[in-house]
Structure 1
Amino acid sequence: MNKKTGFMVHAALLAAIYVVITVAFAPISYGPVQIRISEMLTVLPFFTPAAIPGLFIGALIANAYGGLGIIDVVVGSSATLIAALMTFKMKRKMLAPLPPVLVNAVIIGAMLSYLFQLPLLPTMIYVGLGQVVACYGLGYPFMMAIEKYGSRLWISKKDILNSSN
């Protein structure tokens, strides 16, 4: 399989996994107080750029199921894209989960505050705490497992940057 095809396959698989996990845990994936388990996957851009479109598309589809309408599809998916791009740029593993925590706390917190007419700061804090659980509590151990067992499973940053295909 060439690198471009591999990239697209990885992105599609990550999108599908994100959607399945989000929808499977729907009662805690949506709403003003949430722990979106699928957000543990937001650490993956640290390892592979294929996670950037994969997470974006996964969030777009998952948010379409969430019931909050087009604002969640656009704003929520955009927050995921911004966080994924920032995670990709991280140089230190310990900091990789930080962009999804901060970006979602601010953007999703503000969106949910607006949609549910809730106080802004507490809503941002609740979203941020849910992100800490998902990204550091689940995502960071996931990163450790990937480093130990699974980095050969996808196309890495190095492969993409050194590719002429």
Structure 2
Amino acid sequence: MSPSTMARIAMIAALYGAATLFCLMFMGGLAWGPVQLRLSEALCVLALFTPDAIPGLALGCAVANGANIVLGGTGTLGLLDVVFGSAATAIGAWVMWRWRAHPSVAVLGPVVANGLIVPAYLPLLLAGLGFYTVPFTSISLEGAWPAMYLFGLVCTGVGEAVVMYALGLPLYRALERTPLPAMLAGGTDPRPMGGTR
């Protein structure tokens, strides 16, 4: 791995991690709770420009979720978010890179990955922290994992879709007109597979 590749990965990781921690500070549970609207996910569109965004976004997610262990007091249960949340981000970014020829479809990668993976462990994490009901509902986490998963699937998926389509796609279109794509490409052909932008 070249120094320039490592620098791009580190830059993307730092950007995503800082943006996520900013969301935590000013949006509280909306960045981590059962109803998620993590605005920093819009940065996943960087995977439309470079494959270096895949490890960069995953690392940034791991750092931010690791910091939340300390800031949010999640303890060792927070490691679920570090491992599986980062895996969801990596899978979503990989799908975006593979489908970069079709940005409007590619942004579904993070929506589907987060929508399917995060709700699988979030009820365990929230129950361990003493949150036994879903906010704004009477759904109990105790013994109601299937209902919680379905609730999380909808809420996480919708929240991610809102972020990716309302913020991510406009961000992609704005960045596309700057020198940033060429800088991020760093020797990788940034053009979409099978077509032009």
Q: Of 57, 67, 74, which aligns to 1:65?
A: 67
Tell me whether 1:145 sits opposite 2:174 in the alignment: yes
CA–CA separation in structure 2 for the residues paired with 1:100 and 1:114: 22
| More deviation, 5-14/15-24 | 5-14
1:77-88 map, 5 Å: 77-88=86-97
CA–CA separation in structure 1 for the residues paired with 2:185 and 2:160: 26
2:155 is matched by which residue type in structure 1?
Answer: Y
2:79 is matched by which residue type in structure 1?
Answer: I
Shift of 1:75: 0.8
Which position in structure 2 is the counterpart of 1:7? Answer: 5
Larger helix proportion of the pair: 1
Contact 1:6-1:155 at 8 Å conserved across structures? no
- How many residue pairs get aligned? The number is 157
Unpaired runs of 5+ residues, structure 1, are 160-165
1:8-157 map, 5 Å: 8-26=6-24, 27=28, 28-67=30-69, 68=74, 69-90=78-99, 91-116=101-126, 117=141, 119-149=148-178, 150-155=180-185, 157=188
Contact 1:29-1:36 at 8 Å conserved across structures? yes
CA–CA separation in structure 2 for the residues paired with 1:77 and 1:93: 22
Contact 2:13-2:57 at 8 Å conserved across structures? yes
Identity %: 36
CA–CA separation in structure 2 for the residues paired with 1:74 and 1:40: 20
Larger C-alpha radius of gyration, 1 or 2?
A: 2
Q: How big is the alpha-carbon RMSD for the aligned residues of Structure 1 and Structure 2?
A: 1.7
Unpaired runs of 5+ residues, structure 2, are 127-140, 191-197
| More deviation, 54-63/118-127 | 118-127
